[in-house]
């Protein structure tokens, strides 16, 4: 089951809060690869931290079930949306 992203783009407009993504910040907290349609121009080659499924497999599968990890990420998505 893939992570359900609604492509709102809010996470891609909040890079100032993610030190690991500083190189992708165009200077105003927005990712340089975010397109006008809220899709990622480098989606197939996006940073590891931007890929929920990959982050789960590589770092969190021994800590959470997939469902728990996705649920935590969905909660964080809602928090980020509330910033806007």
Q: What is the pLDDT of residue 79?
A: 93
What pLDDT, on the 0 to 100 scale, is given for residue 26?
96
pTM of the full structure: 0.84
The number of distinct structural domains making up the chain is 1
Residue 1, domain member (yes or no): no
Residue with tokens 């021994």: 62
pLDDT of residue 3: 86
Is 28 contained in some domain?
Answer: yes
* Lookup: tokens for 80: 């980020």
Domain around 45: 11-82
Mean pLDDT of 18-25: 93
**Cα 15 from Cα 4, distance rounded (Å):** 20
In this prediction, residues 8-27 reach a mean pLDDT of 93
Q: Largest Cα–Cα distance in the chain? A: 37
What pLDDT, on the 0 to 100 scale, is given for residue 33? 98
């Amino acid at each position: 089951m893939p992570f359900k992203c609604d492509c709102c783009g809010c996470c891609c407009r909040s890079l100032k809060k993610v030190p690991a993504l500083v190189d992708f910040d165009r200077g105003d907290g927005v990712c340089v690869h975010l397109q006008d349609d809220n899709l990622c121009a480098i989606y197939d080659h996006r940073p590891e931290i931007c890929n929920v499924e990959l982050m789960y497999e590589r770092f969190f599968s021994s800590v959470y079930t997939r469902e728990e990890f996705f649920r935590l990420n969905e909660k964080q998505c809602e928090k980020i949306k509330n910033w806007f």
